[in-house]
Amino acid sequence: MHELVLSGKFVLNGEIVRGSIGIDNGIITDISKRDIKGEETIVFRNNEVILPGLIDTHVHLRDFEQKEKETVESGTKAAVHGGITAVFDMPNTKPPIMDIKTFKERLNILEKHAYTDYAAGFLLAGNCGEASGVRADFYKIFMGTSTGGIFSEDFEIDYSCAPGIASVHAEDPEAINKNPDRPPEAEIRAINKALNAAEKLGKPLNICHVSTAGGIEAILKKNFPWVSFEVTPHHLFLTKMDFEENPLLKVYPPLRSEEHRKALWQSLSKIPIIASDHAPHTIEDKKAGAAGIPGLETEVALLLDATNRGLMTIFDIVEKMHDNPVRFFGIKGRDFSPGNEATFTIADPRREWTVKPEEFYTKAKWSPWEGKKLKGKVVMTVLKGRVVMEDDEIIGKPEGVRLDVQGGKY
Ligand SMILES: NC(=O)N[C@@H](CC(=O)O)C(=O)O
Ligand SMILES: [Zn+2]
Ligand SMILES: [Zn+2]
Pairing of β 331-332 and β 404-405: antiparallel
Query: Can you list the pairs that 392-395 forms with residues at least 24 positions away whose Cβ atoms lie under 8 Å?
Result: 392/81, 392/359, 394/77, 394/80, 394/81, 394/115, 394/361
Give the pLDDT of residue 38. 97
Assess whether the C-beta atom of 218 lies below 6 angstroms from ligand 1: no
Record the pTM.
Answer: 0.98
Contact 344, 299 (CB under 8 A): no
pLDDT of 409: 62
60 CA: nearest ligand 1 atom: 11
Annotated binding site for substrate: 60-62, 92, 281, 291-292
pLDDT tens digits, residue range 327-371?
Answer: 999 999 999 999 999 999 999 999 999 999 999 999 999 999 999
Q: What is the pLDDT of residue 408?
A: 72
- Band the pLDDT of 396: cuts 50, 70, 90: confident
**Which numbered atom of ligand 1 lies nearest the CA of 281?**
12
The yes/no answer to whether this complex scores an ipTM above 0.90 is: yes
Kindly report the CA angle at 289 between 286 and 293, in degrees rounded to 5? 50
Taking residues 34-54, report their average pLDDT: 97
The answer to whether 328 touches 64, Cβ cutoff 8 Å, is no
pLDDT in tens, 90-110: 999 999 999 999 999 999 999
Whether the predicted pLDDT of 410 surpasses 90: no
User: 254: buried, middle or exposed (CB in 10 Å: 19+, 13-18, 0-12)?
Assistant: buried
pLDDT tens string 277-323: 999 999 999 999 999 999 999 999 999 999 999 999 999 999 999 99
Ligand 1 contact, 292 CB (< 6 A): yes
Each residue of 369-389: pLDDT tens digit? 999 999 999 999 999 999 999
Q: How far is CA 296 from the centre of its chain?
A: 8
Q: Cα(151) to centroid of ligand 3, in Å?
A: 13
33 CB neighbour count, 10 Å cutoff: 9
Whether 249 is in the pocket of ligand 1, judged by its Cβ within 6 Å, is no
Q: Is 291 in the pocket of ligand 1 (CB under 6 A)?
A: yes
Domains of the chain (ranges, CATH numbers):
2-50+337-394 (2.30.40.10), 54-329 (3.20.20.140)
